[in-house]
Amino acid sequence: MKFGVVVFPGSNCDDDAVYALQHNLGQEVVKLWHKDHDLQGCDFIILPGGFSYGDYLRSGAISRFSPIMNEVIAHAKRGGYLMGICNGFQILCEAQLTPGVLLRNINQQFICKNVYLKPQSTNSLLTAGLDQDRAFKIPIAHAEGRFFTDSDSLKKLNDNDQILFRYCDANGNISDEANINGSLENIAGVCNEQRNVFGMMPHPERAADPALGNTDGKIILEQVLSVLA
């Protein structure tokens, strides 16, 4: 499998994603510059975290119109796999490739810390092989990560089993106290209806190396390989 990591002006987690995929998972990875029009034959595209275009206007709103996004959107509409992490998730929402929006954190502050996630779906490439009772420790680093959508769309997300992760505590309890940014129903990640586009605010690529003392993120990323490699 060949992965492509898109680099926008202001991306700062592109190297993290490349390292996790290449060194920790042993995969072929290329960087894709935002002005390019060629996905270089990549099977799986990743939009990394960071502050693309300085988060001016609205996080992800400008990046959504970068030249390469025409090819990224076409790739997704053909059924190709696409994942947005943190700022990448914001870009997916702006491009309407995943439902919902990401608003300012409920405390109006930037939050950078380890949190816990609980898988919510067994019908997704990213979560099907995960222990559904386990709390995965994954870092977050965002100011605009509060997932929100209207009530009809929320019902549809639940009915269609499109919610990938919810914020929980270390014991796997999904509660208001564990809802670090105030996201609707503790939602930390979702997929599209076709289940080939995945968005999540936490950073699995930052928890994929033993040197970091945490490999829970590697377990999440390995789910892709278990099916597609």
Token reading at 139: 């870092």
Residues 172 and 178: beta-carbon distance below 8 Å: no
227 pLDDT more than 80 = no
pLDDT of residue 229: 60
Burial of 137 (0-12, 13-18, 19+ CB in 10 A): middle
Report, as an integer, the average pLDDT of 105-109.
96
Mean pLDDT confidence for 100-115: 97
Give residue 79's Cα distance to chain centre.
17
H/E stretch holding 219 reads helix 216-228
Average predicted confidence (pLDDT) for the chain: 96
Provide the percentage of residues in the chain whose pLDDT is more than 90: 92
Phi, psi of 192 (to 5 degrees): -80, 175
Residue-wise pLDDT tens digits, 42-97: 999 999 999 998 887 778 889 989 999 999 999 999 999 999 999 999 999 999 99
What is the distance, to the nearest Å, from the Cα of residue 172 to the centroid of all Cα atoms in its chain? 20
Separation of alpha carbons 71 and 63, rounded Å: 13
Helix (H, G, I), strand (E, B) or coil at 84: strand
Catalytic residues: 86, 203, 205
Q: Which of 89, 101, 193 is nearest to 150 (CA)?
A: 101
Q: Which is nearest to 117 in space by CA: 96, 151, 145, 144? A: 145
Q: What is the pLDDT of residues 162-189, one digit of tens each?
A: 999 999 999 999 999 999 999 999 999 9
What backbone phi and psi angles, to 5 degrees, belong to 223?
A: -60, -35
**What 3-state DSSP class applies to 30?**
strand
Domains along the chain?
A: 2-228 (3.40.50.880)
Strands 81-85 and 101-103, by their bridges, are unpaired
Of residues 24, 19, 38, 13, the one with CA closest to residue 90: 13
Contact 89, 100 (CB under 8 A): no
Residue bearing tokens 């929320």: 154
